[in-house]
Chain A
Amino acid sequence: MELALAEETLARWQFGITTVYHFLFVPLTISLATLVALLQTAWVRTGKDVYLRATKFWGKLFLINIAMGVVTGILQEFQFGMNWSDYSRFVGDVFGAPLAFEALIAFFFESTFIGLWIFGWDKLPKRIHLATIWMVAIGTVLSAYFILAANSWMQHPVGYRINEESGRAELTDFLQVLTQNTAVAQFAHTITAAFLVGGAFMVGISAYHLMRRRHVAVMRTSLRVGLITLVAAGMLTAASGDRLAKIMYEQQPMKMAAAEALWDTEGPAPFSLFAIGDVDAGHNVVAVEVPGLLSFLAHDNFSDPVPGINDTQAAMEAEYGPGDYRPNIPVAYWSFRWMIGFGMASLALGVAGLWLTRRRFWLSERLRTGSEEVPRLALTRDRELGEGLTRWYWRLAFATMAFPLIANAWGWIFTETGRQPWVVYGVLQTSAGVSPSVSQGEVITSMTVYTLLYAALAVVEVKLLAKYVKAGPPELTDADRNPPTRIGGDHRDPDKPMAFSY
């Protein structure tokens, strides 16, 4: 079966669907691993029940989430070979190594220690058990680094040469692939954005319970951890995003021009707030702009010129020959805005929350709350938010849970579609990367199967999360408070049930 579509269209859609879906679970996994590890560390150090209950509550949600992240990641490892065999042949010498190391170093770490953490509560002394969740957290971050180094090489290929005889890219400097500024900046941006997701997740769920005055002690602590994470990660995401954008202005001017719908080179260049463009004519019909701001974002001053789409197109034709080197401009423009908009909205909510729920700073005695009370949202020293507004804040905090996830998804859509028509920027076009031996019928089959399967699993996962969110943190038992002192578990009662079984 062959449809009247460009060869790469179906394979691209499949990659888009499966990767965006996979990445719904990844940032939460990365951030929750560390946040759960921090909560468990707090318990090990202080012995306070509230931290152990929080560890178990967030740990459970973390496990429900990581299961999806792990299984949807299996597909990613094989998709390059299945749908993009010519791409794989071309880049394998460069791109394969970070992927192999990701599995060998990071995945083994994650997957082995997660088993120890899940089943290890009654098998490991508490400090060793704590170490296992830190190992998982380290594994998730290492994994991110390797895969982002690989992706950065597609964004900005370095440390390679083209073998004229075989027509393939060959690695010449692996260290450069791992340490180039694109990789460092993408890593910083992606990791901080991941913590934005985890922070908002904690804030949202804590707000859900606090609004109902349930599980107050645990949720109050969690809210605090979540808000601090959200605000810190939000600011760092913005800073790292700014850095990444400056790098992209140098390395992929077309992507950034498309992000701004900046048709012609301008200096000073304005930042676009809203635009409706005419792609064929090459200009905007409607444009709302802030003068000079784009020059500032690209160059740190308000006057330097920023190259526009039309001029970049001409320059690329001169370099690479005739062709259309423009990505889908409306997608680039709007995805860039959704990314920033949703990300910064969650930061704003975090800043507001941190202020409203402050414990002592500029707060009268009357409005201060104890560790087992729902925090009162204090606007000024003596003035509390009204009951209605308080409810609205909690509700908004709950809804904001989704914002960083949406921002993450749009960010990936932006950076990947913005690189088109290239799969390896300036080196290999996407249309040259697909599998010649795979029919469109086969791609449609696999795409249908994955989409239906993923949709069904999404329903299952969200319902399960909702169930465990509603149930709240568990009560602790004596066994929970007294972990074993020897590896493999204490030998008091050979028939004692396991602390946890599948």
Chain B
Amino acid sequence: MSVAAIKKYEFAPADSVDKFHGAQLLYVGWEDHLMFCAPFAFPLPPNMPFAALLEQVLPPVYGYHPDFARVDWAKAEWFKSGKPWRPDASKSLAENGLRHKDVIRFRTPGLTGIAGSCS
């Protein structure tokens, strides 16, 4: 369907990748850890190695949670748009197939938040 309008109704999207100064948006969620109330949005360079996401970007973001120190990235399960997905940490975000506004989630088996409440 489309908008009912009195004349041609066409506008550019407000968040196309060209507006982010060379970065692209990546959304990241940590399953079973809702102490972080929502997934995060990050503007990241597409040529950034995936390993840098794990080693540099996420630790200050999730480090407050007592479970985070116990995360074993080798065992983490990843999902892209909800479907199982396997990133290669040595490759860049773009080489891992991540495009502007993609959403990825990780599950850390055995870690289920504060007192097992998924917090």
A and B associate:
no
**Contact residues of B with A, CB < 8 Å?**
none
**Contact residues of A with B, CB < 8 Å?**
none
